[in-house]
């Protein structure tokens, strides 16, 4: 665990790091791959009905290595075994930089804000990380009559094991970004 400003990790972060370390020591297929990787934080999210999910935050430069382990070697399944049936999600820890203010007395930013640090791009990247082994095929933003917005995300059809996690994905996304999202599998007509 490498936390910002040398903060002390809590019990959940310790257990997540311990689970990754045990996988590195015990698993032959994950041993070499996990050696240089670390996490920055972990968060437990209540999904309702007594279910919980563990969100593990990793540094953005290491996300491709984690995604390779998820795709090829089943890292998520191994972590879910360690956390006794809780859903485990690996997301990159991204930073949002506020919009530059036009007020005269405010501290002016010397550089322009990168597009990757905007609120919209960070939320889109969190959504991509959340459903990772599956690809997002399309998005629709639906405005309801009461003024609320619902983001409908269409996922790739041939994804195995994701259909049962769709509800937990939407609750995790809601707790991280406070935005409503609905996941769908589009029907393809031949």
d(CA 99, CA 114): 11
104, 49 in Cβ contact below 8 A?
no
* Dihedral sign (CA 88, 40, 22, 74): positive
Our CA angle for 33, 3, 60, nearest 5°, is 50
What's the whole-number average pLDDT of the chain?
Answer: 85
Predicted confidence band of residue 106 (pLDDT cuts 50, 70, 90) = low
Tokens representing 146? Answer: 């009461």
Task: Write out pLDDT tens, residues 169-190.
Answer: 999 999 999 999 999 888 764 4
Task: Write out pLDDT tens, residues 1-55.
Answer: 787 777 888 888 888 888 888 888 887 777 777 888 888 999 999 988 888 999 9
pTM of the model: 0.85
């Amino acid at each position: 665990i490498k936390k910002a400003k040398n903060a002390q990790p809590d019990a959940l972060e310790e257990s997540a790091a311990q689970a990754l370390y045990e996988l590195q020591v015990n698993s032959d297929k994950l041993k070499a791959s996990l050696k240089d990787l670390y996490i920055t934080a972990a968060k437990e999210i209540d999904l309702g009905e007594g279910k919980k999910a563990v969100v593990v935050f990793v540094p953005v430069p290491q996300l491709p290595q984690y995604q390779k382990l998820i795709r090829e070697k089943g890292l998520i399944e191994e972590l879910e075994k360690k956390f006794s049936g809780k859903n485990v999600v690996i997301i990159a820890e991204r930073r949002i930089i506020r919009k530059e203010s036009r007020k005269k007395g405010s501290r002016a930013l010397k550089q322009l804000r990168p597009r990757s640090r905007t609120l919209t791009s960070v939320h889109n990247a969190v959504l991509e990380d959340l459903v990772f082994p599956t690809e997002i095929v399309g998005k629709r933003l639906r405005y309801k009559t009461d003024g609320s917005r619902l983001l409908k995300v269409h996922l790739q059809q041939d994804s195995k094991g994701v259909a049962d996690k769709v509800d937990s994905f939407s609750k995790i996304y809601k707790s991280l970004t406070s935005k409503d999202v609905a996941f769908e599998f589009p029907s393809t007509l031949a």
